[in-house]
Amino acid sequence: MARNISGKKVAILTENGFEQVELTSPLEALKAAGATVHIVSPQTEKVKAWDNDHWGIEVPVDVPLQNAKPEDYDALVIPGGVMNPDFMRANKACVQFAQHFLEQGKPLASICHGPQLLVETGMINGRQMTSYPSIQTDLKNAGAIWSDEEVVVDNGLVTSRSPKDLDAFNRKMLEEIGEGQHDTTGQFTTA
């Protein structure tokens, strides 16, 4: 991954129960490409990963969500896992944080069950997306155009299905962050 995104500031928004590799792999790719990355969470000190079928590592929270300003970041990454997005979509502050990136056309990368949070923004109608197959109906019901591909890119929005797609996900995430903000004029309609 040769793309250099030095000077870019990226938030990884997460809660307890994120799929471990879906946070650690993009985090490593972002840092290797020169980005400054902050773990942002409703938790104030640390978040705990889910690793396949058991609890995994704990990751320090860099910026508690209550202190985070989405306008301070160039891009957002939302890891999956079953618990993580479910907790976040029920948290209005998480929804509003993610909504900022969609409204402003800033790169947003979400994998696996992560797009469940984006459903709550009401801003994915007409967007090309993928996800873990079990939530495709949720995305379709929110107006997304869902397809079963390793990575789907729609005007700065990067989505992938599962950990097996991480290489493609990370590559496209870095590419979109490198391109920067996208024009959102006339992009959003309600479902």
Confidence (pLDDT) at 4:
77
User: How many structural domains compose the chain?
Assistant: 1
Q: Does residue 54 belong to any structural domain of this protein? A: yes
Rounded Cα–Cα distance for residues 92 and 86 (Å): 12
DSSP state letter for 162:
S
- Distance between CA 99 and CA 121 in Å, rounded? 6
* Per-residue pLDDT tens over the stretch 136-191: 999 999 999 999 999 999 999 999 999 999 999 999 999 999 999 887 765 544 44
Q: Which residues are catalytic?
A: 112-113
Residue at 87 is within a domain? yes
In a domain, 145, yes or no: yes
The answer to whether position 162 is within a domain reads yes
For residue 159, give the nearest of 22, 5, 20 by alpha carbon.
22
Query: What are the beta bridge partners of residue 126?
Result: none
Please give the pLDDT value at position 98.
Answer: 98
Rounded mean pLDDT of 59-72?
98
> pLDDT > 70: what percent of the chain?
95
Give the CA distances from residue 165 to residues 22, 25, 110, 128, in Å, rounded to whole numbers and listed in that order: 10, 11, 12, 17
User: Is the pLDDT reported for residue 1 higher than 70?
Assistant: no
Q: Residue 191 domain-assigned?
A: no
Q: What pLDDT is stored for residue 181 in this prediction? A: 87
Over residues 122-130, the mean pLDDT reads 98
Which three-class secondary structure state does DSSP give residue 172?
Answer: helix
Q: What is the pLDDT of residue 2?
A: 45
Note the pTM of the prediction, 2 decimals: 0.95
Q: 108 with 98: CB under 8 angstroms?
A: yes
| CATH number assigned to the domain comprising residue 16 | 3.40.50.880
Q: Is 3 a member of any domain?
A: no
Quick one: average pLDDT of 64-82?
98
Asked if residue 155 is part of any domain, the answer here is: yes
**4 in a structural domain:** no
Domain span holding position 173:
9-179
What pLDDT, in 10s, does the model give residues 23-47? 999 999 999 999 999 999 999 999 9
